[in-house]
Amino acid sequence: MDPAPRSFPDLPLDEELGTPVPFACGTGELGAPASARELDHRRVTQCALSRICGVCGSGLGRPIAFLGSPEEEARNAFHFPPSHLDCAERLLGVYAEVRGSVLGQREPFDSWVIATTGGFEYVRPRREDVDRRATFEPNSLLEARRVS
């Protein structure tokens, strides 16, 4: 179980953006600098199965929060792994103003969404899927709100 979970203020900083890099973004290649652009697939899987927060890396609580784009909300399939609500809110507090592809997003969009749920399904990509990223489908949605 390494690395140890880090609280929000202790998250490493992205050299390019100067923003905190959540646990799910990891460090890409072993030893590479931390980057908030892409999700680290290993850590996404780890978050899904170990039930840990995609932002700080410690055990999830209730409710479980998902952050993503309005499109992800509409299809009920998020790419960023589950998080603590507080961690998701703090992360978006930083990233709401950042433009371009971050936190695994590939298309630009107007506003972030935070959805809360009791549980989720972890869906692995299928062979014919063009987008080979895993998704998370909230299965007992409590609330979804826009964060601008």
Partner 1 sequence: MAIADVKEYTHLTDEEVEQIGRELDALRKEIEESRGASDAEYINRLIKIQRGLAFAGRVTLLLSNKKPAWALGASMLGIAKILENMEIGHNVMHGQWDWMNDPEIHSSNWEWDTAQPAEQWKHSHNYIHHQFTNVLGYDNDIGYGVLRMAREQRWSPYYLGQPIYNALLAGLFQWGVSLHDLDLERIRKGKKDPKEMKRQLKQIGRKIRGQIAKDYVVYPALSGPNWKTTMTANATANLMRNLWSYMIIFCGHFPDGAMHFTEEELEDETREEWYLRQILGAANFTGGPLLHILSGNLGFQIEHHIYPDLPSNRYPQIAERVQALCQKYDIPYTTGPLHRQYGQTLRTILKLSLPNHMTKDKNPTQPERSDTANTYEQDLRRKSDAERQPRRTELGGWSRGGKQRMHD
Q: Which residues bind partner 1 (CB under 8 A)?
A: 1-4, 27, 30, 41-43, 45-46, 49-52, 58-64, 117-128, 132, 139-140, 142
Least Å from the CB of residue 85 to partner 1: 12
CB burial of residue 59 (10 Å; 0-12, 13-18, 19+): exposed
Residue closer to partner 1, measured from CB, 95 or 136:
136
CA distance 117 to 44: 18
Judge whether 33 and 21 are in contact, CB under 8 Å.
no
Neighbours of 117 (CB within 10 A): 22
Residue closer to partner 1, measured from CB, 18 or 132:
132
Least Å from the CB of residue 138 to partner 1: 10
Least Å from the CB of residue 28 to partner 1: 11
Residue closer to partner 1, measured from CB, 78 or 95:
78
